Amino acid sequence: MKTLSPEARQILTHVVPQLALARDLSETTQIVAEAARQLCGSDGTTFVLRERDKCYYADENAIAPLWKGKRFDLEACISGWSMLNKQVAVIKDIYVDGRIPHDAYRPTFVKSLCTIPVRLQDPIAAIGCYWSREYEPTEAEVKALQILADSASMALENLELKQAVKLYSHESLDLKDRADHLELAMYSMAHDLRSPISIMTGLGELLRMQTDGSKDKELTEHIKSIIETGRRTAGQIDRMLSLYRATSGKVSKQEVDVTDLSERIIQDFRSVLRNRKVVFKVAPKMTAFGDPSLLYLVLENLLSNAVKYTSKKSVAEIEVGHQNGQESETYFVRDNGIGFLQSQVGDLFKPLSRLHIAKKEYAGTGLGLASVSHIISLHGGQVRAEGKEAEGATFYFSLPRQMANVTQRLSVPR
């Protein structure tokens, strides 16, 4: 990996806090477009927002007008390709690349380009850089743009929260219901947490670039831990908000890659499992229909329990699998841990209920499985468990094949 130039580090050190504190969408897009152009010396940049099946060119900073304010089909432009495929696109000659709509580019100055998706796991925008000559950005320039894209992602999420805070503040003026004030407090807290986290993560990335190749392995690990902690915390905030929204309204249902979610959660566990031998098995190509953040919570709870209750095993075995059904899809998390008596199944999903065999040796609140049960119930599904003491446990959750657009209430244990 190439090291960032001093100029790039200076630009990002200045821009990362700016984005975290941006007041509105216009300010955010302007900051990103200007910074992107400075980072790679391009002749033009655009900041493109995803609007369902459209690309909206929200801002540009260029030697000549390009497409600011216009909308194109997601599949009809290279920015859309980057978002759909979750990939960076580096194209030295646009007229020899089949992904480029050549007729749209002929009236422009563009000869080479690079597009970076914003929020790689689930892109919500893209940064485009363009050159009037044939040019291929360096690895360091692409990395700098990716750091900018990460900061832009958090900035956009901050703006979404800020808008929610304003909305609920306005609506709560005439409301006395305690729940409305609690909701306002939740959104405000999430927004106030996100800003410092985005700054910490962005500056951590800069530190990692500066120390790339360092012989001080401990320093490198500390920096990596700072970045990963920031990202995990941002993810936890998202899931907290999704769970809270689910208690009072509709959930967002879409196709979810269960295999990918499981593997991401397992990857997060790796750092705390260095001194243990744990064999994970995840079935390929599992998909479901549901709320991505809430299903993440389900899998995180089930996998966390599996990791916890196999800690006494010399070799822990944990599996995430799938079973086909006629009207529903069933998924399971299986382990070879301490298990439980089948007579105790009725208590597993009750709030604050913890089996006596686990209370003393295994930390916990007794809320995890209760939350799992409520989330799956909200989706119109069911949970069940099978176990045998000292031999292991399997937790199943089923989800309907087609989700009905029905608003349900979820009573989350407090």
Q: Are 372 and 301 in contact (CB under 8 A)?
A: yes
Of the candidates 39, 55, 20, 332, the one whose C-alpha atom is nearest the C-alpha of residue 198 is 20
Amino acid identity for residue 26 in this structure: S
Residue the block writes with tokens 């850089």: 129
Amino acid identity for residue 85 in this structure: N
> One digit per residue, pLDDT tens: the chain, 414 residues?
457 788 888 898 888 888 877 778 888 899 999 999 999 999 999 999 998 889 999 999 999 888 999 999 998 899 999 999 999 999 999 999 989 988 889 999 999 999 999 987 788 899 999 999 999 999 999 999 998 998 888 788 767 655 654 554 444 444 445 445 555 555 555 656 666 777 778 788 888 877 777 777 778 877 887 887 777 777 667 666 666 666 655 577 889 999 999 999 998 887 678 788 999 999 999 999 998 888 988 998 899 899 989 988 999 999 999 998 777 899 999 999 999 888 777 778 876 455 544 545 555 444 578 778 888 988 889 999 999 988 999 999 999 986 444 333 333 333
Q: Are 99 and 78 in contact (CB under 8 A)?
A: yes
Which homologous superfamily is 43-134 in? GAF domain (3.30.450.40)
Sheet strands (E) in 167-315? 254-257, 278-282, 287-290
How far is residue 206's CA from residue 340's CA, in Å, rounded to a whole number? 48
Question: Could you tell me whether strands 125-131 and 316-324 are parallel, antiparallel, or unpaired per DSSP bridges?
Answer: unpaired
**DSSP state, residue 397:** E
Instruction: Give residue 165's Cα distance to chain centre.
Output: 21
Q: Are 327 and 398 in contact (CB under 8 A)?
A: no
Q: Are 62 and 44 in contact (CB under 8 A)?
A: yes
Which homologous superfamily is 254-400 in? Histidine kinase-like ATPase, C-terminal domain (3.30.565.10)
Alpha helices by DSSP H, 249-387: 258-269, 292-308, 345-348, 356-359, 368-378
Region class of 285: left (phi > 0), else alpha (psi between -120 and 50), else beta: left
**DSSP state, residue 2:** P
